């Protein structure tokens, strides 16, 4: 709780109760939640929590650089408090989003050599190990 609060103030965000709870949720559940998911969970603890607050808070987190947006699917915006450059894998069977590491430094790109890079997003879609295993059992 102390660290979360400090994380906010360090980023120029006043640590209100709602903001602390939302950031705590993001850091404890690394499940790349949607606004819907965050609200649904937190409204149990904070009955008055409005969805607008979740939207406003996440927008602010992204602007201040302590949260990144995951656009792996066009109909759902997900959020991740891990702002390090890493990839996201979405299983098309169970819909779970996995984190993965990739070598950003040795990523060879051409055609955009003289461009300045601010953010890199790598998304892979497919079938995860667990679902592959379950599919094999069935057949």
Give me the least distance between CB of 68 and a copy of itself, in Å please: 11
Per-residue mark of binding to a copy of itself, 64-103 (x: CB under 8 A): -----x-xxxx--x---------x-x-xx-----xxxxxx
For residues 95 and 69, give the distance between their C-alpha atoms in angstroms, rounded to a whole number. 17
Q: Hey, how many other C-beta atoms are within 10 angstroms of the C-beta on 106?
A: 6
Which is it for strands 87-91 and 76-80: parallel, antiparallel or unpaired? unpaired
Task: Enumerate residues 6-45 that contact DNA by CB under 7 A.
Answer: 14, 16-19, 34-36
Stretch that binds DNA, among 75-83, 88-96, 108-116, 121-129 (CB under 7 A): 75-83
**29 torsion bin: left (phi>0), alpha (psi -120 to 50), beta (else):** beta
59 binds, options DNA, a copy of itself, none, Cβ within 5 to 8 A by partner type: DNA
């Amino acid at each position: 709780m102390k660290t979360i609060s400090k994380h906010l103030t360090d980023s120029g965000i006043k640590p209100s109760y709602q903001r602390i709870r939302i950031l705590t949720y993001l850091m404890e559940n690394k499940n790349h939640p949607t606004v819907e998911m965050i609200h649904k969970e937190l409204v149990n603890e904070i009955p008055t929590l409005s969805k607008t607050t979740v939207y406003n808070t996440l927008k602010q987190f992204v602007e201040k650089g302590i949260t990144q947006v995951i656009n792996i699917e066009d109909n759902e915006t997900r959020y991740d408090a891990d702002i390090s450059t890493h990839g996201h894998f979405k299983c098309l069977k169970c819909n779970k989003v996995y984190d993965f590491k990739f070598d950003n430094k040795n990523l060879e790109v051409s055609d955009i050599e003289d461009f300045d890079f601010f953010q890199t997003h790598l998304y892979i879609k497919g079938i995860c190990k667990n679902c592959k295993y379950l599919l094999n059992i069935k057949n």
